[in-house]
Protein backbone atom coordinates (compact mmCIF):
# COMPACT_ATOMS: atom_id res chain seq x y z
CA UNK A 1 0.00 0.00 0.00
CA UNK A 2 1.04 3.62 -0.49
CA UNK A 3 1.33 5.96 2.49
CA UNK A 4 1.88 9.68 2.36
CA UNK A 5 3.66 10.38 5.65
CA UNK A 6 4.04 14.10 6.41
CA UNK A 7 3.98 14.80 2.68
CA UNK A 8 6.45 12.06 1.72
CA UNK A 9 5.32 9.00 -0.23
CA UNK A 10 6.48 5.63 1.07
CA UNK A 11 5.51 1.99 0.42
CA UNK A 12 4.46 -0.38 3.18
CA UNK A 13 2.53 -3.59 3.84
CA UNK A 14 -1.02 -3.65 5.31
CA UNK A 15 -1.26 -4.12 9.08
CA UNK A 16 1.79 -2.08 10.00
CA UNK A 17 1.37 0.38 12.87
CA UNK A 18 2.10 4.09 12.63
CA UNK A 19 4.84 3.61 15.26
CA UNK A 20 6.53 0.98 13.07
CA UNK A 21 6.43 3.32 10.09
CA UNK A 22 7.96 6.11 12.21
CA UNK A 23 10.82 3.85 13.27
CA UNK A 24 12.22 4.18 9.73
CA UNK A 25 10.78 7.64 9.00
CA UNK A 26 11.13 9.70 12.20
CA UNK A 27 8.84 12.59 13.09
CA UNK A 28 10.57 15.91 12.44
CA UNK A 29 10.07 18.17 15.40
CA UNK A 30 11.55 19.26 18.69
CA UNK A 31 9.36 16.75 20.54
CA UNK A 32 8.55 13.11 19.65
CA UNK A 33 5.32 12.22 17.86
CA UNK A 34 2.57 11.25 20.27
CA UNK A 35 -0.37 10.71 17.90
CA UNK A 36 -1.29 11.18 14.24
CA UNK A 37 -4.00 12.14 11.81
CA UNK A 38 -4.69 9.10 9.63
CA UNK A 39 -6.97 10.05 6.74
CA UNK A 40 -8.12 13.04 8.80
CA UNK A 41 -9.01 11.00 11.88
CA UNK A 42 -7.10 11.20 15.16
CA UNK A 43 -5.27 7.97 15.90
CA UNK A 44 -2.79 6.59 18.39
CA UNK A 45 0.60 5.47 17.06
CA UNK A 46 -0.46 1.86 17.81
CA UNK A 47 -3.10 2.22 15.07
CA UNK A 48 -2.88 -0.37 12.28
CA UNK A 49 -2.78 0.99 8.73
CA UNK A 50 -4.64 -1.34 6.36
CA UNK A 51 -5.15 0.79 3.25
CA UNK A 52 -3.58 3.64 1.32
CA UNK A 53 -3.40 6.49 3.81
CA UNK A 54 -2.37 10.09 4.33
CA UNK A 55 -0.70 10.38 7.75
CA UNK A 56 0.36 13.51 9.58
CA UNK A 57 2.26 12.94 12.83
CA UNK A 58 1.65 15.27 15.77
CA UNK A 59 3.58 16.07 18.93
CA UNK A 60 2.49 17.74 22.15
CA UNK A 61 2.67 21.24 20.62
CA UNK A 62 -0.49 20.52 18.59
CA UNK A 63 -3.98 20.76 20.11
CA UNK A 64 -4.56 17.06 19.46
CA UNK A 65 -1.13 16.14 20.82
CA UNK A 66 -1.80 18.10 24.01
CA UNK A 67 -5.08 16.24 24.44
CA UNK A 68 -3.41 12.83 24.04
CA UNK A 69 -0.52 13.78 26.35
CA UNK A 70 -2.88 14.86 29.12
CA UNK A 71 -5.16 11.85 28.74
CA UNK A 72 -2.17 9.50 29.04
CA UNK A 73 -0.65 11.38 32.00
CA UNK A 74 -4.03 11.12 33.70
CA UNK A 75 -4.02 7.34 33.19
CA UNK A 76 -0.51 7.07 34.61
CA UNK A 77 -1.57 9.08 37.66
CA UNK A 78 -4.43 6.69 38.44
CA UNK A 79 -2.17 3.68 37.83
CA UNK A 80 0.30 5.13 40.34
CA UNK A 81 -2.50 5.84 42.81
CA UNK A 82 -3.62 2.20 42.65
CA UNK A 83 -0.11 1.14 43.65
CA UNK A 84 0.35 3.77 46.39
CA UNK A 85 -3.16 3.77 47.93
CA UNK A 86 -5.67 1.48 46.25
CA UNK A 87 -8.47 2.66 48.53
CA UNK A 88 -8.17 6.37 47.75
CA UNK A 89 -11.20 7.85 45.99
CA UNK A 90 -10.12 10.57 43.56
CA UNK A 91 -12.22 12.74 41.25
CA UNK A 92 -10.69 14.71 38.42
CA UNK A 93 -11.79 18.33 38.39
CA UNK A 94 -11.26 21.59 36.59
CA UNK A 95 -8.26 22.88 34.70
CA UNK A 96 -5.86 24.98 36.80
CA UNK A 97 -3.17 26.63 34.70
CA UNK A 98 -1.59 23.82 32.67
CA UNK A 99 -2.91 21.07 34.91
CA UNK A 100 -5.93 19.26 36.32
CA UNK A 101 -7.20 19.66 39.86
CA UNK A 102 -7.65 16.30 41.60
CA UNK A 103 -9.81 15.95 44.69
CA UNK A 104 -9.13 13.07 47.09
CA UNK A 105 -12.17 12.48 49.30
CA UNK A 106 -11.16 9.76 51.71
CA UNK A 107 -7.51 10.29 52.61
CA UNK A 108 -5.35 13.14 53.82
CA UNK A 109 -3.09 14.78 51.28
CA UNK A 110 0.43 14.99 52.67
CA UNK A 111 3.81 15.82 51.21
CA UNK A 112 4.72 12.17 51.64
CA UNK A 113 1.67 11.01 49.65
CA UNK A 114 2.45 13.44 46.80
CA UNK A 115 6.10 12.39 46.79
CA UNK A 116 5.13 8.69 46.68
CA UNK A 117 2.64 9.26 43.86
CA UNK A 118 5.08 11.23 41.75
CA UNK A 119 7.84 8.67 42.35
CA UNK A 120 5.53 5.86 41.24
CA UNK A 121 4.45 7.81 38.15
CA UNK A 122 8.09 8.29 37.18
CA UNK A 123 8.73 4.57 37.69
CA UNK A 124 5.89 3.78 35.26
CA UNK A 125 7.25 6.29 32.75
CA UNK A 126 10.82 4.96 33.05
CA UNK A 127 9.57 1.44 32.42
CA UNK A 128 8.31 2.70 29.02
CA UNK A 129 5.48 0.18 28.94
CA UNK A 130 3.63 -0.21 25.61
CA UNK A 131 0.03 1.03 25.71
CA UNK A 132 -2.69 -0.15 23.39
CA UNK A 133 -6.43 0.18 24.04
CA UNK A 134 -8.47 -2.98 23.51
CA UNK A 135 -12.16 -3.55 22.88
CA UNK A 136 -13.98 -5.90 25.24
CA UNK A 137 -17.67 -6.91 25.46
CA UNK A 138 -19.66 -4.24 27.28
CA UNK A 139 -20.96 -6.87 29.72
CA UNK A 140 -17.40 -7.80 30.69
CA UNK A 141 -16.48 -4.14 31.17
CA UNK A 142 -19.51 -3.57 33.41
CA UNK A 143 -18.63 -6.60 35.54
CA UNK A 144 -14.96 -5.59 35.85
CA UNK A 145 -15.71 -2.01 36.86
CA UNK A 146 -18.38 -3.21 39.27
CA UNK A 147 -15.77 -5.34 41.05
CA UNK A 148 -13.48 -2.29 41.16
CA UNK A 149 -16.38 -0.33 42.75
CA UNK A 150 -16.33 2.18 39.88
CA UNK A 151 -20.09 2.81 40.12
CA UNK A 152 -19.90 6.03 38.10
CA UNK A 153 -18.48 4.13 35.14
CA UNK A 154 -20.81 1.15 35.54
CA UNK A 155 -23.84 3.42 35.32
CA UNK A 156 -22.53 5.12 32.16
CA UNK A 157 -21.66 1.80 30.49
CA UNK A 158 -25.16 0.50 31.18
CA UNK A 159 -26.59 3.56 29.43
CA UNK A 160 -24.48 3.04 26.28
CA UNK A 161 -26.05 1.26 23.35
CA UNK A 162 -22.82 -0.36 22.20
CA UNK A 163 -21.64 -3.95 22.18
CA UNK A 164 -18.04 -3.21 23.17
CA UNK A 165 -16.10 -0.86 25.45
CA UNK A 166 -12.56 0.48 24.91
CA UNK A 167 -10.21 -0.01 27.87
CA UNK A 168 -6.47 0.32 28.41
CA UNK A 169 -4.26 -1.28 31.05
CA UNK A 170 -1.48 0.61 32.81
CA UNK A 171 0.04 -1.76 35.35
CA UNK A 172 -2.76 -3.01 37.61
CA UNK A 173 -5.06 -0.14 36.65
CA UNK A 174 -7.68 -0.61 33.94
CA UNK A 175 -8.99 2.66 32.58
CA UNK A 176 -11.82 3.47 30.21
CA UNK A 177 -10.63 5.80 27.45
CA UNK A 178 -12.59 8.26 25.33
CA UNK A 179 -9.87 8.83 22.73
CA UNK A 180 -6.33 7.86 21.69
CA UNK A 181 -3.47 7.61 24.19
CA UNK A 182 0.32 7.58 23.77
CA UNK A 183 1.67 4.22 22.57
CA UNK A 184 4.31 4.13 25.34
CA UNK A 185 4.40 5.47 28.90
CA UNK A 186 7.93 6.80 28.31
CA UNK A 187 6.58 9.63 26.14
CA UNK A 188 4.97 11.25 29.20
CA UNK A 189 8.23 12.48 30.68
CA UNK A 190 7.23 15.93 31.94
CA UNK A 191 4.69 16.37 34.71
CA UNK A 192 4.58 17.36 38.34
CA UNK A 193 2.21 16.98 41.28
CA UNK A 194 1.50 20.01 43.47
CA UNK A 195 -0.55 20.34 46.64
CA UNK A 196 -3.32 22.84 45.88
CA UNK A 197 -5.91 23.94 48.45
CA UNK A 198 -7.72 20.78 49.61
CA UNK A 199 -6.51 18.65 46.67
CA UNK A 200 -3.61 18.48 44.27
CA UNK A 201 -2.81 19.54 40.70
CA UNK A 202 -1.30 17.30 38.05
CA UNK A 203 0.71 19.72 35.90
CA UNK A 204 1.46 19.13 32.20
CA UNK A 205 3.62 20.94 29.64
CA UNK A 206 2.07 24.04 28.06
CA UNK A 207 0.74 23.91 24.50
CA UNK A 208 4.07 25.23 23.19
CA UNK A 209 5.91 22.36 24.87
CA UNK A 210 7.38 24.46 27.68
CA UNK A 211 7.17 23.19 31.24
CA UNK A 212 7.19 25.59 34.20
CA UNK A 213 7.07 23.19 37.12
CA UNK A 214 4.89 25.60 39.09
CA UNK A 215 1.17 26.25 39.46
CA UNK A 216 -0.02 29.82 39.87
CA UNK A 217 -2.65 30.23 42.56
CA UNK A 218 -5.96 31.56 41.19
CA UNK A 219 -8.16 31.78 44.29
CA UNK A 220 -11.15 33.55 42.70
CA UNK A 221 -11.34 31.22 39.73
CA UNK A 222 -10.86 28.18 41.97
CA UNK A 223 -13.58 29.43 44.31
CA UNK A 224 -16.00 29.76 41.37
CA UNK A 225 -15.18 26.21 40.31
CA UNK A 226 -15.70 24.80 43.80
CA UNK A 227 -18.98 26.69 44.24
CA UNK A 228 -20.35 25.07 41.08
CA UNK A 229 -19.01 21.67 42.08
CA UNK A 230 -20.86 21.94 45.39
CA UNK A 231 -24.02 22.98 43.53
CA UNK A 232 -23.71 19.82 41.43
CA UNK A 233 -23.23 17.70 44.55
CA UNK A 234 -26.31 19.30 46.11
CA UNK A 235 -28.54 18.33 43.18
CA UNK A 236 -26.86 14.93 42.78
CA UNK A 237 -25.42 15.39 39.30
CA UNK A 238 -21.64 15.31 39.08
CA UNK A 239 -21.13 13.27 35.91
CA UNK A 240 -22.75 12.40 32.59
CA UNK A 241 -24.19 9.11 33.89
CA UNK A 242 -26.06 10.88 36.71
CA UNK A 243 -27.37 13.50 34.26
CA UNK A 244 -28.60 10.76 31.91
CA UNK A 245 -30.18 8.86 34.80
CA UNK A 246 -32.21 11.87 35.90
CA UNK A 247 -33.36 12.48 32.33
CA UNK A 248 -34.55 8.88 31.88
CA UNK A 249 -36.42 9.05 35.20
CA UNK A 250 -38.47 12.05 34.03
CA UNK A 251 -36.65 14.59 36.21
CA UNK A 252 -35.32 16.82 33.42
CA UNK A 253 -37.91 19.57 33.97
CA UNK A 254 -37.14 19.82 37.69
CA UNK A 255 -33.41 19.73 36.99
CA UNK A 256 -33.71 22.67 34.60
CA UNK A 257 -35.73 24.66 37.15
CA UNK A 258 -33.22 24.08 39.96
CA UNK A 259 -30.19 24.90 37.77
CA UNK A 260 -31.81 28.11 36.53
CA UNK A 261 -32.83 29.05 40.09
CA UNK A 262 -29.21 28.71 41.22
CA UNK A 263 -28.22 31.12 38.45
CA UNK A 264 -30.87 33.63 39.45
CA UNK A 265 -29.87 33.39 43.10
CA UNK A 266 -26.24 34.14 42.21
CA UNK A 267 -27.17 37.09 39.97
CA UNK A 268 -29.38 38.52 42.72
CA UNK A 269 -26.50 38.16 45.21
CA UNK A 270 -24.19 40.10 42.87
CA UNK A 271 -26.79 42.85 42.52
CA UNK A 272 -27.13 43.00 46.32
CA UNK A 273 -23.36 43.36 46.72
CA UNK A 274 -23.29 46.22 44.20
CA UNK A 275 -26.11 47.90 46.14
CA UNK A 276 -24.14 47.57 49.38
CA UNK A 277 -21.14 49.26 47.74
CA UNK A 278 -22.59 52.75 47.67
CA UNK A 279 -19.61 54.20 45.75
CA UNK A 280 -20.04 51.98 42.68
CA UNK A 281 -20.78 53.99 39.52
CA UNK A 282 -19.22 51.77 36.82
CA UNK A 283 -19.87 48.05 36.32
CA UNK A 284 -17.45 46.32 33.95
CA UNK A 285 -18.34 42.86 32.64
CA UNK A 286 -15.92 40.67 30.71
CA UNK A 287 -15.36 37.05 29.78
CA UNK A 288 -14.41 34.76 26.90
CA UNK A 289 -16.46 34.05 23.80
CA UNK A 290 -19.92 32.47 24.19
CA UNK A 291 -20.00 32.88 27.96
CA UNK A 292 -23.47 34.43 27.88
CA UNK A 293 -22.25 37.90 28.90
CA UNK A 294 -25.09 39.68 27.07
CA UNK A 295 -27.91 37.75 28.76
CA UNK A 296 -26.12 37.94 32.11
CA UNK A 297 -25.91 41.74 31.75
CA UNK A 298 -29.62 41.96 31.00
CA UNK A 299 -30.56 39.76 33.96
CA UNK A 300 -28.23 41.68 36.26
CA UNK A 301 -29.89 44.93 35.13
CA UNK A 302 -33.26 43.56 36.27
CA UNK A 303 -31.91 42.63 39.70
CA UNK A 304 -30.27 46.06 40.03
CA UNK A 305 -33.63 47.70 39.33
CA UNK A 306 -35.16 45.57 42.09
CA UNK A 307 -32.63 47.28 44.39
CA UNK A 308 -33.52 50.73 43.08
CA UNK A 309 -30.46 51.07 40.85
CA UNK A 310 -31.00 52.09 37.25
CA UNK A 311 -28.22 50.76 34.95
CA UNK A 312 -27.25 52.90 31.96
CA UNK A 313 -25.40 51.14 29.17
CA UNK A 314 -22.21 52.59 27.70
CA UNK A 315 -20.71 50.61 24.82
CA UNK A 316 -16.95 50.15 24.60
CA UNK A 317 -17.44 49.26 20.93
CA UNK A 318 -18.30 52.90 20.20
CA UNK A 319 -14.83 53.93 21.40
CA UNK A 320 -12.88 52.02 18.76
CA UNK A 321 -10.29 54.12 16.95
CA UNK A 322 -10.98 55.04 13.34
CA UNK A 323 -9.71 52.31 11.03
CA UNK A 324 -6.85 54.46 9.74
CA UNK A 325 -5.53 54.85 13.31
CA UNK A 326 -6.01 51.20 14.36
CA UNK A 327 -2.97 49.09 15.34
CA UNK A 328 -1.79 46.38 12.99
CA UNK A 329 -0.33 42.92 13.44
CA UNK A 330 3.08 41.92 12.14
CA UNK A 331 1.51 40.68 8.90
CA UNK A 332 -0.05 44.10 8.29
CA UNK A 333 -3.65 43.12 9.15
CA UNK A 334 -5.67 45.21 11.59
CA UNK A 335 -5.68 43.98 15.19
CA UNK A 336 -9.10 44.82 16.60
CA UNK A 337 -8.68 42.56 19.65
CA UNK A 338 -5.89 44.51 21.33
CA UNK A 339 -6.87 47.11 23.92
CA UNK A 340 -4.85 49.65 21.90
CA UNK A 341 -7.59 49.53 19.24
CA UNK A 342 -9.79 51.45 21.72
CA UNK A 343 -9.60 55.17 22.43
CA UNK A 344 -8.87 54.61 26.12
CA UNK A 345 -8.20 58.28 26.81
CA UNK A 346 -11.62 59.37 25.50
CA UNK A 347 -13.44 56.55 27.28
CA UNK A 348 -11.87 57.51 30.62
CA UNK A 349 -12.61 61.20 30.05
CA UNK A 350 -16.29 60.54 29.33
CA UNK A 351 -16.79 58.17 32.26
CA UNK A 352 -15.14 60.62 34.69
CA UNK A 353 -17.33 63.46 33.43
CA UNK A 354 -20.46 61.34 33.75
CA UNK A 355 -19.56 60.49 37.35
CA UNK A 356 -19.21 64.21 38.03
CA UNK A 357 -22.80 64.69 36.85
CA UNK A 358 -21.90 66.30 33.53
CA UNK A 359 -23.72 65.65 30.24
CA UNK A 360 -21.53 63.80 27.73
CA UNK A 361 -21.97 63.23 24.00
CA UNK A 362 -20.69 59.70 23.49
CA UNK A 363 -19.64 58.55 19.99
CA UNK A 364 -21.44 56.11 17.70
CA UNK A 365 -19.13 53.84 15.71
CA UNK A 366 -19.91 52.88 12.11
CA UNK A 367 -18.31 49.44 11.78
CA UNK A 368 -18.85 48.96 8.01
CA UNK A 369 -17.08 52.27 7.40
CA UNK A 370 -14.49 51.83 10.15
CA UNK A 371 -14.99 55.27 11.73
CA UNK A 372 -17.12 57.20 14.21
CA UNK A 373 -20.27 58.88 12.93
CA UNK A 374 -19.34 62.56 12.50
CA UNK A 375 -22.96 63.70 12.85
CA UNK A 376 -24.69 61.43 15.36
CA UNK A 377 -23.81 61.20 19.05
CA UNK A 378 -25.63 59.91 22.12
CA UNK A 379 -26.08 62.32 25.00
CA UNK A 380 -25.73 60.77 28.46
CA UNK A 381 -26.06 62.16 31.98
CA UNK A 382 -26.03 60.06 35.14
CA UNK A 383 -28.71 60.58 37.78
CA UNK A 384 -28.16 59.85 41.46
CA UNK A 385 -29.72 56.35 41.26
CA UNK A 386 -27.96 55.38 38.02
CA UNK A 387 -24.77 53.43 37.31
CA UNK A 388 -22.88 52.86 34.08
CA UNK A 389 -22.72 49.27 32.90
CA UNK A 390 -20.65 47.89 30.04
CA UNK A 391 -19.48 44.54 28.78
CA UNK A 392 -16.54 43.83 26.51
CA UNK A 393 -13.29 42.05 25.88
CA UNK A 394 -11.10 44.34 28.03
CA UNK A 395 -13.43 45.10 30.94
CA UNK A 396 -11.12 43.57 33.56
CA UNK A 397 -7.97 45.24 32.24
CA UNK A 398 -7.24 48.18 34.53
CA UNK A 399 -5.85 50.15 31.58
CA UNK A 400 -9.34 50.53 30.16
CA UNK A 401 -10.61 52.51 33.15
CA UNK A 402 -7.39 53.67 34.81
CA UNK A 403 -8.70 57.20 35.55
CA UNK A 404 -11.66 55.91 37.57
CA UNK A 405 -10.87 55.14 41.24
CA UNK A 406 -10.99 51.39 41.97
CA UNK A 407 -13.60 51.76 44.71
CA UNK A 408 -16.03 53.25 42.18
CA UNK A 409 -15.77 50.24 39.86
CA UNK A 410 -17.22 46.75 40.13
CA UNK A 411 -15.69 44.13 37.85
CA UNK A 412 -17.46 40.90 36.90
CA UNK A 413 -15.91 37.92 35.11
CA UNK A 414 -18.41 35.69 33.28
CA UNK A 415 -17.48 32.30 31.86
CA UNK A 416 -18.95 28.83 31.36
CA UNK A 417 -16.85 26.80 33.80
CA UNK A 418 -18.39 23.36 33.48
CA UNK A 419 -17.98 21.06 36.47
CA UNK A 420 -19.73 18.10 34.90
CA UNK A 421 -17.35 15.16 34.33
CA UNK A 422 -17.72 12.15 32.06
CA UNK A 423 -16.86 9.97 35.05
CA UNK A 424 -14.69 10.35 38.16
CA UNK A 425 -11.46 9.86 36.18
CA UNK A 426 -12.31 11.65 32.90
CA UNK A 427 -13.19 15.32 32.61
CA UNK A 428 -14.99 17.42 30.03
CA UNK A 429 -12.84 20.20 28.60
CA UNK A 430 -13.88 23.49 30.19
CA UNK A 431 -13.88 25.28 26.84
CA UNK A 432 -16.15 22.66 25.21
CA UNK A 433 -19.26 24.19 26.79
CA UNK A 434 -18.53 27.52 25.10
CA UNK A 435 -17.53 25.88 21.82
CA UNK A 436 -20.80 23.94 21.60
CA UNK A 437 -22.76 27.10 22.40
CA UNK A 438 -20.96 28.99 19.66
CA UNK A 439 -21.43 26.23 17.07
CA UNK A 440 -25.18 26.27 17.69
CA UNK A 441 -25.56 30.07 17.79
CA UNK A 442 -23.38 30.70 14.72
CA UNK A 443 -25.26 28.11 12.68
CA UNK A 444 -28.73 29.27 13.75
CA UNK A 445 -28.29 33.04 13.75
CA UNK A 446 -24.99 34.13 12.18
CA UNK A 447 -24.85 32.19 8.94
CA UNK A 448 -21.67 30.30 9.87
CA UNK A 449 -21.34 26.54 9.50
CA UNK A 450 -19.93 24.31 12.22
CA UNK A 451 -16.81 23.84 10.07
CA UNK A 452 -16.25 27.61 9.92
CA UNK A 453 -16.78 28.02 13.66
CA UNK A 454 -14.37 25.19 14.43
CA UNK A 455 -11.77 26.67 12.08
CA UNK A 456 -11.91 30.05 13.83
CA UNK A 457 -11.94 28.64 17.37
CA UNK A 458 -8.13 28.31 17.80
CA UNK A 459 -7.63 32.01 16.99
CA UNK A 460 -10.48 32.92 19.35
CA UNK A 461 -8.78 30.93 22.11
CA UNK A 462 -5.45 32.61 21.38
CA UNK A 463 -7.05 36.03 21.82
CA UNK A 464 -8.63 34.94 25.10
CA UNK A 465 -5.27 33.75 26.42
CA UNK A 466 -3.77 37.16 25.67
CA UNK A 467 -6.56 39.62 26.48
CA UNK A 468 -8.93 37.95 28.98
CA UNK A 469 -7.53 35.10 31.07
CA UNK A 470 -4.52 37.05 32.44
CA UNK A 471 -6.94 39.55 34.04
CA UNK A 472 -9.62 37.20 35.41
CA UNK A 473 -8.35 37.43 39.00
CA UNK A 474 -8.91 41.23 38.81
CA UNK A 475 -12.66 40.61 39.04
CA UNK A 476 -14.63 41.45 42.17
CA UNK A 477 -16.82 38.45 41.48
CA UNK A 478 -16.95 35.53 39.05
CA UNK A 479 -20.19 34.25 37.59
CA UNK A 480 -20.20 30.72 36.22
CA UNK A 481 -22.71 30.72 33.36
CA UNK A 482 -22.50 26.94 32.80
CA UNK A 483 -25.68 24.99 33.48
CA UNK A 484 -25.41 21.35 34.50
CA UNK A 485 -28.00 20.23 31.94
CA UNK A 486 -26.71 22.23 28.97
CA UNK A 487 -24.66 19.54 27.16
CA UNK A 488 -27.83 17.44 26.99
CA UNK A 489 -29.80 20.44 25.68
CA UNK A 490 -27.22 21.40 23.05
CA UNK A 491 -26.79 17.76 21.93
CA UNK A 492 -29.67 17.71 19.43
CA UNK A 493 -28.59 20.97 17.79
CA UNK A 494 -24.83 20.40 17.81
CA UNK A 495 -24.97 16.80 16.54
CA UNK A 496 -27.05 17.94 13.58
CA UNK A 497 -24.66 20.76 12.70
CA UNK A 498 -21.48 18.72 13.28
CA UNK A 499 -22.74 16.16 10.77
CA UNK A 500 -22.51 18.90 8.12
CA UNK A 501 -18.70 19.07 8.49
CA UNK A 502 -17.19 17.33 5.41
CA UNK A 503 -14.92 14.39 6.14
CA UNK A 504 -12.06 16.04 4.23
CA UNK A 505 -12.38 19.38 6.06
CA UNK A 506 -9.52 20.24 8.49
CA UNK A 507 -12.12 20.67 11.26
CA UNK A 508 -13.45 17.14 10.85
CA UNK A 509 -11.07 15.83 13.55
CA UNK A 510 -12.47 18.24 16.13
CA UNK A 511 -16.05 17.69 14.94
CA UNK A 512 -15.64 13.94 15.43
CA UNK A 513 -14.25 14.43 18.95
CA UNK A 514 -17.26 16.54 19.95
CA UNK A 515 -19.67 14.15 18.26
CA UNK A 516 -18.29 11.22 20.27
CA UNK A 517 -18.71 13.17 23.50
CA UNK A 518 -22.29 14.15 22.66
CA UNK A 519 -23.04 10.51 21.87
CA UNK A 520 -22.73 9.78 25.62
CA UNK A 521 -25.67 12.08 26.47
CA UNK A 522 -29.44 11.67 26.56
CA UNK A 523 -31.04 14.88 25.17
CA UNK A 524 -33.05 17.44 27.11
CA UNK A 525 -35.81 19.16 25.10
CA UNK A 526 -35.70 22.97 24.66
CA UNK A 527 -39.34 23.34 25.78
CA UNK A 528 -38.15 22.95 29.37
CA UNK A 529 -35.78 25.95 29.17
CA UNK A 530 -37.15 29.31 30.45
CA UNK A 531 -37.14 32.30 28.09
CA UNK A 532 -34.76 34.21 30.35
CA UNK A 533 -32.12 31.45 30.42
CA UNK A 534 -28.59 32.26 29.30
CA UNK A 535 -28.89 29.31 26.91
CA UNK A 536 -31.66 31.11 25.01
CA UNK A 537 -28.94 33.45 23.75
CA UNK A 538 -27.63 30.46 21.77
CA UNK A 539 -30.69 28.38 20.84
CA UNK A 540 -33.18 31.22 20.36
CA UNK A 541 -36.57 31.92 21.95
CA UNK A 542 -35.28 34.45 24.48
CA UNK A 543 -37.56 37.09 25.96
CA UNK A 544 -34.61 39.53 25.74
CA UNK A 545 -33.70 41.52 22.65
CA UNK A 546 -30.14 41.15 21.37
Domain coordinates of the chain in residue numbers?
A: 2-59, 64-133+177-203, 219-291+407-539
Predicted confidence at residue 546, as pLDDT, reads 86
Let me know: does 151 contact 157? Beta carbons within 8 Å.
no
Cα–Cα dist 371/150, whole Å: 60
Cα–Cα dist 63/61, whole Å: 7
Cα–Cα dist 56/66, whole Å: 15
Cα–Cα dist 424/388, whole Å: 43
Residue 210 DSSP one-character state: -
Average confidence (pLDDT) over 162-168: 95
Among 209, 261, 189, 13, which Cα is nearest to 98's?
Answer: 209
Average confidence (pLDDT) over 223-231: 92
Predicted confidence at residue 208, as pLDDT, reads 87
pLDDT in tens, 10-41: 999 999 999 999 999 999 989 999 999 999 99
CA distances from 467 to 224, 394, 396, 399, 471 (A): 20, 7, 9, 12, 8
Report how many helices (DSSP H) and strands (DSSP E) the chain contains, helices first.
15, 23
What number of CA atoms fall less than 13 Å from residue 278's CA on the CB side?
Answer: 0
Predicted confidence at residue 353, as pLDDT, reads 97
Residues in a beta bridge with 104: 90
Let me know: does 358 contact 381? Beta carbons within 8 Å.
yes
Predicted confidence at residue 34, as pLDDT, reads 98
Percent of the chain with pLDDT over 90: 91
- Per-residue pLDDT band at 377 (split at 50, 70, 90): very high
Same fold, 2-59 and 64-133+177-203: no
Let me know: does 183 contact 45? Beta carbons within 8 Å.
yes
Length of the chain: 546
128 — alpha (psi -120 to 50), left (phi > 0) or beta? left
Cα–Cα dist 419/239, whole Å: 8
Predicted confidence at residue 383, as pLDDT, reads 93
Which secondary-structure segment (H or E) carries 246? Answer: helix 240-248
Average confidence (pLDDT) over 406-435: 94
Predicted confidence at residue 507, as pLDDT, reads 96
Q: How many CB atoms lie within 10 A of CB 337?
A: 19
46 Cβ contact partners less than 8 Å away, ≥ 6 residues apart? 17, 18, 19, 130, 131, 132, 133, 183
Cα–Cα dist 90/297, whole Å: 37
**Is residue 200 classed as helix, strand or coil in its secondary structure?**
strand
Cα–Cα dist 150/114, whole Å: 23
457 Cβ contact partners less than 8 Å away, ≥ 6 residues apart? 435, 438, 510
Q: Are strands 409-415 and 477-480 parallel, antiparallel or unpaired?
A: parallel
543 Cβ contact partners less than 8 Å away, ≥ 6 residues apart? 531, 532, 536
Let me know: does 100 contact 93? Beta carbons within 8 Å.
yes
Among 217, 208, 211, which Cα is nearest to 472's?
Answer: 217
**Is residue 249 classed as helix, strand or coil in its secondary structure?**
coil
Residue 85 has pLDDT above 90, yes or no: yes
Which secondary-structure segment (H or E) carries 541? Answer: none
pLDDT in tens, 167-187: 999 999 999 999 999 999 999
Let me know: does 386 contact 309? Beta carbons within 8 Å.
yes
Cα–Cα dist 436/515, whole Å: 10
Residue 106 has pLDDT above 90, yes or no: no
Predicted confidence at residue 531, as pLDDT, reads 97
Cα–Cα dist 79/174, whole Å: 8
If you average pLDDT over every residue of the chain, what do you get? 95
Among 530, 536, 525, 495, which Cα is nearest to 250's?
Answer: 525
Topology given in CATH for the domain delimited by 2-59: Ubiquitin-like (UB roll) (3.10.20)
- Per-residue pLDDT band at 477 (split at 50, 70, 90): very high
CATH of domain 64-133+177-203: 3.30.980.10
211 Cβ contact partners less than 8 Å away, ≥ 6 residues apart? 190, 203, 204, 205
Rg of the chain, C-alpha, whole Å: 25
- Per-residue pLDDT band at 419 (split at 50, 70, 90): confident
Residue 5 has pLDDT above 90, yes or no: yes
- Dihedral in degrees, nearest 10, Cα atoms 264, 270, 275, 280: -140
Among 213, 215, 190, which Cα is nearest to 201's?
Answer: 215
Residue 207 has pLDDT above 90, yes or no: no
Average confidence (pLDDT) over 475-502: 97
**Is residue 480 classed as helix, strand or coil in its secondary structure?**
strand
Residue 522 sits at the vertex; the CA angle it makes with 71 and 428, to the nearest 5 degrees, is 20
Predicted confidence at residue 161, as pLDDT, reads 87
Residue 159 has pLDDT above 90, yes or no: yes
CA distances from 533 to 135, 244, 481, 529 (A): 41, 21, 10, 7
Predicted confidence at residue 319, as pLDDT, reads 96
Residue 158 — φ and ψ, nearest 5°?
-65, -30
Residues in a beta bridge with 43: 36
Average confidence (pLDDT) over 420-444: 94
Average confidence (pLDDT) over 98-115: 91
The full DSSP string for 9-37 is EEE--TTEEHHHHHHHS---SSS---EEE
Residue 105 has pLDDT above 90, yes or no: no
CA 466 from chain centre, in angstroms, equals 16
Residue 212 has pLDDT above 90, yes or no: no
pTM of the complete model beyond 0.85: yes
Residues in a beta bridge with 524: none
pLDDT in tens, 51-76: 999 999 999 999 999 999 999 999 99
- Per-residue pLDDT band at 102 (split at 50, 70, 90): very high
Predicted confidence at residue 18, as pLDDT, reads 97
- Per-residue pLDDT band at 461 (split at 50, 70, 90): very high
Average confidence (pLDDT) over 394-409: 96
Amino acid sequence: MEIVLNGRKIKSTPGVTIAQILAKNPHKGEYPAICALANNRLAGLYHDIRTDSAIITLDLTSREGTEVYRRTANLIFFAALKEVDDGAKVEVGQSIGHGYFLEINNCKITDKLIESLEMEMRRIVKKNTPLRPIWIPIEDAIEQFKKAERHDRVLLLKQMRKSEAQVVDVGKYRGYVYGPVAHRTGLIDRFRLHKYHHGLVLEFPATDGSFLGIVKDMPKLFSAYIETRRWNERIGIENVAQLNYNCTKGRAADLVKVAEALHEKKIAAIADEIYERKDTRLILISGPSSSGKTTFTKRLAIQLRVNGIEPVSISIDNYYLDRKDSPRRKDGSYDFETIDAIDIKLFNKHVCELMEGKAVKTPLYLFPEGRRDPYKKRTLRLKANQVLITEGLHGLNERLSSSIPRKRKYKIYVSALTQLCIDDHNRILTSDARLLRRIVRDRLFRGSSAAETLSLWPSVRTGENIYIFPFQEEADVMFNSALVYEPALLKSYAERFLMEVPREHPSFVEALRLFRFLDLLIPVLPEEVPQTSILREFIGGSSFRY
